[in-house]
Amino acid sequence: MADMQWALDGQGTELFAGIPVSDFDRALDWYRRFFGCEPAFFPNDFEAVWAIGPQRWFYIIVDAGRAGGAVQTLICQDLEPLIATLSARGIDYVAEELPAEGVRKVMYGDPDGNEIGLGRVPAV
pTM for the model stands at 0.90
CATH number of this structure's domain 14-120 = 3.10.180.10
Taking the chain (124 residues) in runs of 10, the rounded mean pLDDT of each run is 81 93 98 97 97 94 97 93 96 95 95 96 80
Under the phi-then-psi rule, with left for phi > 0, alpha for psi from -120 to 50, and beta for the rest, what region is 88? alpha
Domain ranges (residues) in the chain: 14-120
Taking the C-alpha atoms of residue 112 and residue 21, their distance in angstroms, rounded to an integer, is 6
Q: List, in order, residues 6 or more apart from 80 with CB less than 8 Å away.
A: none
